[in-house]
Every structure is written in structure tokens, then in C-alpha cells.
Amino acid sequence: MNDIDVLVSEVGPRDGLQSIDATMPTDVKVAWIRAQAAAGCREIEVGSFVPPSILPQMADTADVVREALTIEGLTVAVLVPNLRGAENAIAAGAHKISIPFSVSETHSLRNLRRSHEQVIDEVRGIAALVAAQKTPPHFEAGLSTAFGCSLEGPVSEDVVVRSAERLIEAGAAEVGLSDTTGYANPVQVKRLIRRVQAAVGKKHITGVHLHNTRGLGLANALAALEEGITTIDSSLGGIGGCPFAPGASGNIVTEDLVFMLEAMGLKTGIDIDRLIAVRDIVRAALPNEPLYGFIPEAGLPKGF
Amino acid sequence: MNDIDVLVSEVGPRDGLQSIDATMPTDVKVAWIRAQAAAGCREIEVGSFVPPSILPQMADTADVVREALTIEGLTVAVLVPNLRGAENAIAAGAHKISIPFSVSETHSLRNLRRSHEQVIDEVRGIAALVAAQKTPPHFEAGLSTAFGCSLEGPVSEDVVVRSAERLIEAGAAEVGLSDTTGYANPVQVKRLIRRVQAAVGKKHITGVHLHNTRGLGLANALAALEEGITTIDSSLGGIGGCPFAPGASGNIVTEDLVFMLEAMGLKTGIDIDRLIAVRDIVRAALPNEPLYGFIPEAGLPKGF
């Protein structure tokens, strides 16, 4: 992070591809990851270690991790649902592993089929495994549905804060706030970041995962930046994240986020033109998937 | 403004309709304006007083103004390009008249066919006319291309500030900042608002007109709010404002802006469900025009 101000963490190869029925061939995933790293992306979530019976699109994650590890300067991140997944991630050599913790317990039981207690137990197990490694990966827990849940509705901020404390106590190095449902607004983003920072310390919360389902993705990202957040997740072309409707993508579009940051004078290390060119790889492999984004359509401002 | 925190000023019937080839019948315009006022919108720019030979879509503006004046509590705003337009606006009884002043003189010469000096002369003439009225309308000048110009590229902030000073000196009651080209970013929005506030006084700059061409419309609106701006222009369904491409509308979408503000706890006086229903009127009259917006597709959050 020495030469950049904000780390844009690409989640498309994981969050994007796992939401799509088609399975992208391994060599295309690797070509995408290579091209995006070459455009300057420093961290990419390349897959998730879930049973192939649940997400066949992610069955090749170990192979993708091994290829991605050969890319100079790239932090190779993966998602894991449990200790078993973490074991596989560590065996493959991932630099960073994230586990989702759904603040809405209804959502947790439906999506992960686990109660809060059970996920905390997994976190304890993963933390012990991580600590036993010679070169331990960075281990993070993502607070899903932190800004509201489409099943429960509003989510208690006290529960978010308490969950963050418990995850850090259980051994996660860091927690992130995820607007899984696209419910967040800038005032809430600022308030919740401040509350979690106060509870666990600023160094234990540096990232957010925001959605653009209701069009507020970049406004919420701006709010997060103003509270000192330095890592923002996004997805090339906005793919993934349960899109509701045409134009209403789930994830923040990487191209638009990078444009906003660079226009604000914040260095991302990413070349926007080369980033936009990466879309060609995804479009060719997934011709039926819409790719979102304003900057790829409108172009950069004259003289930018 | 006593019972609301932010005035959302609807520009669709002017900015939207003048960008579209089809002419909306007068009775449909009036039905749209009535429905949107009934949804709680307090200010609507209902048309512009330009020669019908240039913009036939606006030829009925005097009739539209007269109908709109019968709506209780609605501020009826119009755009005028010059003194002649202001005379017609005042004769029709408009509450608020705005004249565009293009900070990029290249843009001014091409669009208004006038130099800065000539527009300042028009402003002086309009200010004198306004002052002579028993019930003077509010008279505002909009600083177009304030954040950059697709012809000139970057625009000097010193020229923006000096232009604001000259417009106030020439008799405009207020200036507004317009991101005509969708070039603005949040840091620039904040800096420029602060500079113009310092130059002309906060009471002489309360509004901004932002575009969403590059996806930063709501982030820029958030930045403007944080600097004390209390009036934000937007367009129902995002129509108008020179859209570049599918999904990349020109104007901020009123529905999404109102959602962001209300979610942030800022009162707009507008009922979002009733606002979304107004789209039916526009869609029926302009079946070939795309209507944008995330909230109309994704719906309000559960429990909102």
C-alpha cells in the first residue's frame, strides 16, 4: 500500500462467477486474473473453497490459486465457508482468506446453514490453523447483511458491533462490513464504521464490500473513504452480487470505482484503459452476461 | 423549506423533454407536473422560453406555466436563454427563472451563440426587469460546464469563481454549479462549492445540477450536501441531459436521489412510491424513451 492510497480488491472471479450458472474454464479465469493484475490490480479474490456439489463454478479454485500465485505482486484472496475450506485454501497457498459471518441469523441459517455460534466456532478453528502456519495467510471475517437483510429487514447495529468484537476475539485479524443486500446509505455507512472502529480498533477494520443494487454504491464508498477505510471491494463489469434487474447490478463496478478514486486524486495503481480492456476477456467467455458500468460507455473526461 | 431538509428540484419537463425529439402534448406535461407535485415535489422546472424554431418541444411553455401556477405550494421554475425569454417568463408568471452561463466560452459560443460579455449583459437586463416587478421572481444563473467541458477539457476554477462573482454583481440573486458534462468528482465538487461560497457568500449559492454520465451523480450529490448545499436538481427516470449510452443517463434520477436522501434521514417531502408511479405517465407518453433508475427496479429495502 506504500505507493497507492486505496486498495481496490477485485471480487469478480469469485463473487461474480459464483452467481452465474455458466462455468468459466480455468484458463479463461487465469487469463482474466493475469490481465487485471497487469492493469494494476493488487488484490483479486480468485475463487472460493466450497464443495463442488454446491458451487461447481468454483471447483477449480485450487488450480486458479496456484496459477495466480505466479503473478508478481498480486495478493491472492479466496473465500471459505468453514474450517475445511480454510484447510484447502492454506494447502493451495492463498495469501488471504475470508469467511462470511451473516449478522442476520436468519440469513446465516439459510445461506450457510449455521447459527452465529457455529460460525464463531469455525473462526476459532481457522484462527488456530492460521497461527500454526510458517507463513500465515491474512484471515478476515466479512460481516454480511451488516446494513440490513432482505429476510429480517433492519439489522441491529448493536449486533453488528458485538459480532465484530466476537470475531476479533475468536481470532480473525480483521472484520469487514458487507452491504450484501444493497440497503446501505452514506449516513449509516459512516456511523457503523465509526462504531466498529471504536469497538475493535481501526487497524481491525480497513475494508468494505458494498453493493450498487439501489444505485448508492459509489456514494457509500465515498462515505467509507471519509471514515478512513482503505480497501474497497468491487467487481469488473459489476457482475455478481445477485442483480435484481437490468442496470441494477449487485456489486460496485470496478471501472467506475477506479475512475472515482483516481478523479479524486487517490492513487489506485490501476490503469483505467487497460482495466476496461479486460472486459473483452469476460465478454467473450460469458456472451450472455450483461456487463455494467458508466465509464466504459461514456469514456474518460477530455484531458483526464 | 421549513419542513424539509433538501429541496429536490425536478428538471425533467424542461431538461428531459428538450433533449427528446418527440414533443409531449401540453395536457400530458401538465398531468406529469400535477402528479409529481402531488407526490410531494416542491419545485419543478416546467419548460424553457426559447424560440419555438429552436426547440419546438418547449413551444407551449407559457401554457404549461399557467397550468402549473394553479398547483398549491409548487414553485414553478423555467429556463430562459436571454432577456426576451425572461420577459415571456415574467408575463406567464413563473416563480423562478434561470439563465445558463457557460464557464467554457467555447461551449457558450457554440450553444448559446454568445460570449461571456454578452451573457452578462443579458443578466443585467433581466435583473433590472425582475427588480421592476411588483412580485419579482427568483432569478438565478447556472454555471454550466463548471466541472469541465467536453470541448475545452478542464475548466479553470478561477474562471468559475470569477464568473460567479460577475453574475452576482450583474444582479443574479443566486448562482448554481452545473456539471453539464458529467465530469465532476466529489473532491472537486467540495472544493469548488467552498471557493464559490467564499467568493459570493453562502446564501448566493444553494443549489447544484449534477449529471450521472459517469456514474458519480449521487456521490457528487453527497459531497455537495456535506458542503451545505440544500437544492439538488434531478430528472424523473433520469431522462434528458444528453445520455451517452444505455444505462448511462445524463441527469441524476429523481427516484434514486430521493431514496438516498430519505434513507440518510433527510426530509424531502416526497413519497417515493407515489413518485415511482409518475413514471407511468411518462412511459405511456414516450414509449421509446428509456427510463433509468435503480430504486424503481430493485424496490425499497424491507422495513424502509
ipTM of the prediction: 0.95
Q: How far is A155 from chain B (nearest CA, A)?
A: 10
- Cβ contact (<8 Å) for B186 and A222? yes
Would the pLDDT of A129 be above 50?
yes
Instruction: Return mean pLDDT, chain B.
Output: 95
Return the pLDDT at B245: 46
- Cβ contact (<8 Å) for A148 and B303? yes
CATH number of A7-298: 3.20.20.70
Return the pLDDT at A240: 83
The catalytic residues of B are 242
pLDDT digits (tens, 9 = 90+) for A64-120: 999 999 999 999 999 999 999 999 999 999 999 999 999 999 999 988 889 999 999
- Cβ contact (<8 Å) for A297 and B263? no
CA distance B40 to B34: 10
Query: End-to-end alpha-carbon separation of chain A, Å?
Result: 24
Return the pLDDT at A19: 87
- Cβ contact (<8 Å) for A218 and B221? no
Q: What percent of chain B has pLDDT over 70?
A: 97
Q: Residue A63: is it exposed, middle or buried by C-beta count within 10 angstroms (0-12/13-18/19+)? A: middle
pLDDT digits (tens, 9 = 90+) for A282-302: 999 999 888 999 999 999 999
Identify which of B214, B223, B246 has the shortest CB distance to residue A295: B214
Return the pLDDT at B229: 98
Would the pLDDT of A182 be above 90?
yes
CA distance A227 to A190: 6
Return the pLDDT at A242: 59
Return the pLDDT at A245: 45
pLDDT digits (tens, 9 = 90+) for B109-123: 988 889 999 999 999
Span of A235-249, B138-152, B217-231, B271-285 with lowest mean pLDDT: A235-249
- Cβ contact (<8 Å) for A295 and B215? yes
Q: Does A173 touch chain B (CB under 8 A)?
A: no
Q: Does A198 touch chain B (CB under 8 A)?
A: no
Residues of chain B found within 8 Å of residue A297, distances taken between Cβ atoms: 244-248
Interface test with A, best of B179, B216, B262, B272 (most A CBs within 10 A): B216
Return the pLDDT at B242: 59
pLDDT digits (tens, 9 = 90+) for B73-112: 999 999 999 999 999 999 999 999 999 999 999 999 988 8
In this structure, which amino acid lies at residue B57? Q
Q: What percent of chain B has pLDDT over 90?
A: 89
Instruction: Return mean pLDDT, chain A.
Output: 95
- Quick check: B142 and B108 in contact, CB under 8 A? no
pTM of the shown model: 0.96
pLDDT digits (tens, 9 = 90+) for B187-201: 999 999 999 999 999
| Cβ within 8 Å of B, A 58-97 | none
Q: Does A293 touch chain B (CB under 8 A)?
A: yes
Count of A-B CB contacts under 8 Å: 137
- Cβ contact (<8 Å) for B263 and A187? yes
Q: Does B228 touch chain A (CB under 8 A)?
A: no
Q: How far is B107 from chain A (nearest CA, A)?
A: 14
pLDDT digits (tens, 9 = 90+) for B250-293: 899 999 999 999 999 999 999 999 999 999 999 999 998 889 99
- Cβ contact (<8 Å) for A248 and B298? yes
Return the pLDDT at A203: 97
Q: What percent of chain A has pLDDT over 70?
A: 97
Q: Which residue has the higher pLDDT, A289 or B134?
A: B134
Closest CA in chain A for residue B224: A219
The catalytic residues of A are 242
- Cβ contact (<8 Å) for B298 and A182? yes
Span of A46-55, A134-143, B11-20, B245-254 with lowest mean pLDDT: B245-254
Would the pLDDT of A248 be above 80?
no
Per residue, the 3-state secondary structure of chain A, as one string, reads CCCCCCEEEECHHHHHHHCCCCCCCHHHHHHHHHHHHHCCCCEEEEEECCCCCCCHHHCCHHHHHHHHCCCCCCEEEEECCCHHHHHHHHHHCCCEEEEEEECCHHHHHHHCCCCHHHHHHHHHHHHHHHHCCCCCCEEEEEEECCCCECCCECCCHHHHHHHHHHHHHCCCCEEEEECCCCCCCHHHHHHHHHHHHHHHCHHHCCEEECECCCCCHHHHHHHHHHCCCCEEEEEHHHCCCCCCECCECCECEHHHHHHHHHHCCCCCCCCHHHHHHHHHHHHHHCCCCCCCCCHHHHCCCCCC
Return the pLDDT at A1: 59
